[in-house]
Copies of this chain bind each other. A is one copy, B any other.
Amino acid sequence: MIIDCHGHYTTAPPALEAWRKQQIAAIGDPAMAPSRASLKIGDDEIRASLEGAQLKMQRERGTDVTIFSPRASAMAHHVGDATTSLEWTRVCNDLIRRVCTLYPDNFVGVCQLPQSPGVRPENCIAELERCINELGFIGCNLNPDPSGGHWKEPPLTDRWWYPLYEKMVELDVPAMVHVSSSCNPCFHATGAHYINADTTAFMQFLLSDLFKDFPTLKFIIPHGGGAAPYHWGRYKGIAQDMKRPPFSELLLKNVFFDTCVYHRPGIELLLKVVPADNILFASEMVGAVKGVDPDTGHHYDDTRRYVEPIEWLSAEDRGKIFEGNARRVFPRFGTRTPRAVNSAGRAN
């Protein structure tokens, strides 16, 4: 089985965006805010949004199941206040649940969190519990910068975040560190802000004893870990100069990288420097890059094509990257089939 650990619902029916626009227009005039129930999307619309996109690509590329979450760039935690964020987050998470119910073999849910700039992370706990316990989700996306490019929150390793981490540990779910859109004109969202956030998070983890406090807490740093694997020697050297423990002890039991790196030399570097135990297959399709690479004739984000043919990768390591690590990092996936995972939320 090939598990793609990183996909967002970027192709949701247009009614979702219309609802969001109405919600944003009502900021400052709560009486005008749309109710969650006012969002009407039929099952057929959901099917149509996926059949020609994520499902088609799963079939064509030979991947089996996608760990699926709301569109990252649309989380936009900086918009409105905590109530705005909570309403939007519930709507988005509920839609992911419907996707997982319609296609229980193809998608397993990961939730957006109702973060809001300056609002304490414990404010996200109720929605996290709802998604894990009631909707059958297996993880969450955590935005280290809800301001959208101004980086005003404390580092991820600050005690500010601890109440959320306590709940993650209790529920046995990992977080993917994933920012949203950028409202800082210096940072293009998918070209700079995303990658910078990945690099920033890695460096924060390197500096901290967070995983002494939470030995079972797990994070996935997406987009191949930002710049971290390319600068692995730099990071090793900085850690060594600072007398930090070796990576194996410091963070490799807790920090994982996905394979959203859209060319073969990048994937080869990732697989050379990062232990196979710390790499989870992912493509982020349909995502940041949609085109076909003229040099290969295949989609840039068809990342299986980069991993599969690497001759020095052992079958065992390939199996870990494609399946085993995802089942380990997402314990609620574990040894089960996607259908069994999704049945946990079936009653709702």
Contacts and interface: CB of A to CB of B under 8 A. Distances in A.
Nearest to A186: B151
Interface stretch (A72-80, A88-96, A190-198, A309-317): A190-198
Contacts of A126: none
Interface residues of A, number: 56
A223 B231 contact: yes
A265 interface: yes
Given A227-B195, A237-B293, A266-B269, A203 B232 contact: no
B230 A203 contact: no
A145 to B, nearest CB: 7
A234 B289 contact: yes
A227 B237 CA distance: 18
Contacts of A155: 185-186
A333 to B, nearest CB: 27
A269 B265 contact: yes
A174 interface: no
B204 A186 contact: yes
Contacts of A269: 230, 265-266, 268-269
Given A231-B262, A233-B263, A265-B232, A200 B187 contact: yes
- Among A145, A229, A235, A237, max chain B CB count under 10 A is at A237
B234 A288 contact: yes
Contacts of A154: 185-186
A146 interface: no
A236 B263 contact: yes
A183 to B, nearest CB: 11
Contacts of A223: 231, 234
Interface in A59-94: none
A270 to B, nearest CB: 8
A7 interface: no
A291 B226 CA distance: 24
A153 interface: yes
A144 interface: yes
Contact of A196 (B199, B236, B266): B199
Given A203-B192, A206-B191, A227-B199, A233 B293 contact: yes
A238 B192 contact: no
A233 B200 CA distance: 21
19 contacts: A144-B186, A149-B151, A150-B151, A151-B187, A186-B204, A187-B200, A188-B203, A190-B234, A196-B196, A232-B266, A233-B289, A233-B293, A237-B262, A237-B300, A241-B290, A263-B273, A265-B269, A265-B273, A268-B269
